[in-house]
């Protein structure tokens, strides 16, 4: 175990980004993600990278657009209200087909909300979260190890499909420490012939731009983008199944709530209830096929979330409403307890007997 | 050992998070599954602080400890808040210098350690956290008393390595209580 270190989730993201070749970080402090920026502030100057605390979250995302235009791996991180401020820039990144990694360590909302953990930015992350026809790849880590590995994966997917990858974590995942192996590297590198790197007189200049006044031209751009999105949906779905082989009830949960749900499922199994877990690791693309398949043999689903019920709509869509989907949730910075999830499993088990 | 769920609670500045981190590192060195989850935000700055630490032989689900097997209470508000959360048969460690009252529960084992008083008396100021942790290590056999120095080495930053001996002394002193 000598290669395992104890690290906060936020620090693991920062170190993994460096391991993935990111040398440009722009951010602005906000609880509960500030350790990402603090870690970058310490490390980047030592390895010839750039750490810059911008004057605002809006400035930081626009600096990300600048570096992304040059084809370099670049990231910013924030928490919920800060992500809202960055949302204009995220749309521009999509409109310019620029790869970047954006980290949201969620806290309770809306507005300034609170600083305790939340998953209430699910819709914002998964449905685009800003104006225009576009998608983000959304990755939901459920351990400090995944905070690290999905950061590397996020950069690679962003480069591969020329789009934004978002790590959708929460205050618990950011603040907790677990053993993590930092034996990480990025094996994928994309050619970036579109990057603005200086022509040296040798080629036509590249233009990075999201303005297309001719509707025919803009429509063609969006169509082309959606062809890439279709490839992402086909190739990049990630999920974990837990005790699903004989499950009659399927819990669906991501991030920290999936871990709470596992505790509850273990107790439910001891009590003889056939219950399992489907944990989406990619929230977009959503693991629709595995859920639809589960709908053939499961009698009901339970969506466990830290919001008023956001992912539950995607569960219902994925299973085409063939089976009832129940919600078990807390919000405002509250985390459901394993007992609450167990009570919901017992209730559903009785109701659907 | 299956799983030990611990909750360290006290004032910000008492080294609550440090003590938890120390035991988490000890578990890591011993190849256990471990998690450490702090309270965060304004309560850390002079108010109450707590951290959940789980040591386990099996993968850890939720890192949140809301029903501790072991509670370390280093101030009265923490004892008031968490006394009833401890599982029946669990263990409560009380800094009896700072907490005047007794534990009311009768279905738990209670250890009163005058940690803050001892720290002042033995010139181990700021190490009340490690004195009480020493008692925890000796009274909770599932934690074990190996690898103390190795874990301290990991958790004490390079520029504070001169504190390592004092931390070991504090752990020993606590174990003798």
pLDDT digits (tens, 9 = 90+) for B81-129: 999 999 999 999 999 999 999 999 999 999 999 999 999 999 998 999 9
Select the residue of B29, B33, B62 nearest A259 (Cβ to Cβ).
Answer: B62
| Per-residue confidence (pLDDT) for residue A92, from 0 to 100 | 98
CA A78 to chain centre: 13
Q: A338–B61: do the CB atoms touch at under 8 Å? A: yes
* Distance separating alpha carbons of residues B143 and B137, to the nearest angstrom: 6
Q: Is the pLDDT of residue A2 over 70?
A: no
Q: Is A252 buried (19+), middle (13-18) or exposed (0-12) by CB count in 10 A?
A: buried
ipTM for the predicted complex comes to: 0.92
Chain B residue whose CA is closest to A31: B41
Rounded to an integer, what distance in angstroms lies between the CA atom of residue A175 and that of residue A144?
A: 9
CB of B37 within 8 Å of a chain A CB? The answer is yes
Report whether pLDDT(A185) > 80.
yes
Interface with A, mutate which of B62, B87, B151, B152 (most A CBs under 10 A) = B62
Question: How high is the pLDDT of residue A1?
Answer: 43
Please tell me the distance from the alpha carbon of residue B63 to that of residue B80, in angstroms, as a whole number.
22
Nearest chain B Cα to A6, which residue? B25
Decide: A243 and A276 in contact? Cβ < 8 Å: yes
Mean pLDDT of A88-106: 98
Mean pLDDT over A164-174 rounds to 97
Q: Rounded to whole angstroms, how far apart are CA atoms A323 and A133?
A: 30
- Contact between B36 and A32 using a beta-carbon 8 Å cutoff: no
CB of B157 less than 8 A from some CB of A: no
Q: Does B35 sit within 8 Å of A178, measured CB to CB?
A: yes
pLDDT tens, A249-305?
999 999 999 999 999 999 999 999 999 999 999 999 999 999 999 999 999 999 999
DSSP string, B46-97: TSEEEEEEEEESS-------SS-SEEEE-SHHHHHHHGGGSPTT-EEEEETT
Across the interface, whether the CB atoms of A1 and B35 are under 8 A apart is answered no
pLDDT at B130: 98
The yes-or-no verdict on residue B44 having pLDDT over 60 is no
Q: Which residues in chain B are closer than 8 Å to A1, comparing Cβ atoms?
A: 28-29, 31
**Domains (ranges, CATH) in chain A?**
4-193+205-235 (3.40.50.970), 240-351 (3.40.50.920)
Tell me the C-alpha distance between A13 and A22, whole Å: 11
Q: Which of A172, A177, A335 sits opposite B24 (nearest CB)?
A: A177
Short-list B37, B128, B172, CA closest to A116: B37
What domains sit in chain B, N to C, each tagged with a CATH number? 3-175 (3.40.920.10)
pLDDT computed for residue A128 by the predictor: 80
Work out the end-to-end distance of chain B between its first and last CA atoms, rounded to an integer number of angstroms.
24
Distance in Å, alpha carbon of B134 to nearest chain A alpha carbon: 21
Q: Where are the beta strands (DSSP E) in A273-324?
A: 275-280, 282-284, 300-305
Split at pLDDT 50, 70, 90, the class of B41 is: low
Q: How far apart are CA A226 and CA A133, in angstroms?
A: 9
- pLDDT-based confidence at residue A345 (cuts at 50, 70, 90): very high
Average pLDDT score over chain A? 96
Residue B67 has pLDDT above 60, yes or no: yes
- CA A255 to chain centroid, in Å, comes to 9
Q: What is the pLDDT of residue B39?
A: 87
């Amino acid at each position: 175990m000598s290669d395992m270190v104890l690290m906060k989730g936020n620090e693991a993201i920062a170190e993994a980004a460096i391991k993935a070749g990111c040398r440009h970080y722009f951010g602005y402090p906000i609880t509960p993600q500030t350790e990402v920026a603090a870690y970058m502030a310490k490390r980047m100057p030592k390895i010839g990278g750039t750490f810059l605390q911008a004057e605002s979250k809006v400035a930081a995302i626009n600096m990300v657009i600048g570096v992304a235009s040059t084809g370099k791996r670049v990231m910013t991180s924030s928490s919920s209200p800060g992500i809202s401020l960055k949302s204009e820039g995220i749309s521009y990144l999509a409109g310019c087909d620029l790869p970047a990694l954006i980290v949201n360590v969620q806290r309770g909302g809306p507005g300034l909300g609170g600083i305790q953990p939340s998953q209430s930015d699910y819709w914002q992350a998964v449905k685009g979260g800003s104006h225009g026809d576009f998608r983000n790849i959304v990755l939901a880590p459920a351990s400090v190890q995944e905070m690290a590995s999905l950061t590397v994966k996020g950069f690679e997917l962003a480069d591969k499909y020329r789009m934004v990858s978002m790590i959708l974590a929460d205050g618990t995942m950011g603040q907790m420490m677990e053993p993590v192996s930092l034996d990480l590297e990025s094996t994928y590198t994309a050619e970036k012939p579109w990057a603005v790197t200086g022509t040296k007189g040798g080629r036509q200049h590249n233009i990075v731009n999201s303005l297309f006044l001719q509707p025919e031209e803009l429509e063609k751009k969006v169509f082309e983008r959606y062809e890439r999105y279709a490839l992402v949906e086909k190739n990049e779905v990630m999920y974990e199944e837990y005790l699903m082989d004989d499950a009659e009830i399927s819990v669906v949960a991501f991030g920290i709530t999936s871990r709470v749900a596992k505790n509850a499922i273990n107790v439910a199994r001891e009590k003889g209830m056939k219950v399992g877990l489907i944990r989406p690791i990619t929230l977009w693309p959503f693991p629709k096929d595995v859920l639809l398949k589960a709908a053939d043999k499961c009698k009901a689903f339970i969506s466990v979330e830290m919001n008023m019920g956001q992912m539950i709509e995607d569960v219902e869509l994925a299973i085409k409403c063939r089976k009832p989907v129940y919600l078990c949730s807390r919000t405002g910075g509250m985390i459901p307890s394993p007992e609450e999830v167990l009570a919901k499993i017992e209730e559903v088990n009785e109701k659907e007997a | 050992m299956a799983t030990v769920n611990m909750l360290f609670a006290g004032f910000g500045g008492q080294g609550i998070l440090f003590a938890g981190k120390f035991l988490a590192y000890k578990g890591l060195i011993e190849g256990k599954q471990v998690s450490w989850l702090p309270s965060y935000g304004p309560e850390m700055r002079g108010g109450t602080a707590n951290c959940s630490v789980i040591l386990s032989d099996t993968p850890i689900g939720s890192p949140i400890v809301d029903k501790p097997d072991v509670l370390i209470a280093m101030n009265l508000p923490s004892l008031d808040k968490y006394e009833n959360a401890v599982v029946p048969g669990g263990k409560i460690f009380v800094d009896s210098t700072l907490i005047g009252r007794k534990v009311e529960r009768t279905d738990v084992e209670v250890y009163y350690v005058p940690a803050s008083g001892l720290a002042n008396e033995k010139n181990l100021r700021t190490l009340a956290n490690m004195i009480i942790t020493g008692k925890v290590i000796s009274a909770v056999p599932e934690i074990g008393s190996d690898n103390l120095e190795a874990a301290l080495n990991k958790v004490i930053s390079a520029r504070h390595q001169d504190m390592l001996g004092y931390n070991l002394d504090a752990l020993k002193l606590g174990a003798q209580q």
